[in-house]
Amino acid sequence: MIAVAALSLMAAGVAESSAQIRFGVMGGATFSKMSKEVIKGENMTQFHAGGTVQLRLPLGFSLQPSLIYNVKGSRFGLIDDPVTPTGNLTVGYLELPVSVQWGPDLLLFRPFLDVTPYVGYGLNNKITVAGIDAVKNSWSESGINRWEYGLGVGIGLEVWKFQVIGRYNWNFGSLMNFRSDLEEGVGTALKNTVERGKFGGFTLTAAFLF
């Protein structure tokens, strides 16, 4: 429904020739952790950066797809040690978020509400577990899904060519693919810990629009 509404608004804006297209660069901080299904997940701060295109539409709407590199991570505890986090996981995704925004143009600034569905593909990962050799960029050994998808909801402020957005993001897909042929080591330790966990967390993004 969101996508249909956004496409309808885009068509209307182009038809009325009142749409304005601006390109930009963006980046910021990613605060994430694995969800409550994990034995003990703790926040990890990473980053995201990339490019964006803003299409300003009538009635205060705008559509803003972006292509970013987004690193998500979490500290976690193992089943036999639920008190102290004993592992770290980071995954870098090539992510395509499509921000649907609405807010009044108040001349000097524009506050807006933001709804952003997204999809991503894993480019790299690193898992460290106490007492086990670290694994880097091995999707088969770790059992991590490369694909992710989810939804972000937040608020933003645009002043001249600058934009700031604070957004909470939910991942809907499972982090692990639960293959049964994982070798003993990091993969099985992570599988037993994560259960059906998924990444979630907050992003703070700044953009400059040309």
Number of Cβ atoms within 10 Å of the Cβ of 93: 24
* pLDDT digits 0-9 by tens, 70-87: 999 998 776 555 555 578
CATH entry, 2-209, from 3.90.660.20, 2.40.160.20, 2.130.10.30, 1.10.460.10: 2.40.160.20
Report phi then psi at 197, rounded to 5.
-70, 165
The model's pTM: 0.84
Confidence of residue 197 (pLDDT cuts 50, 70, 90): confident
* pLDDT digits 0-9 by tens, 3-61: 445 545 444 444 444 569 999 999 999 999 887 555 567 889 999 999 999 999 999 99
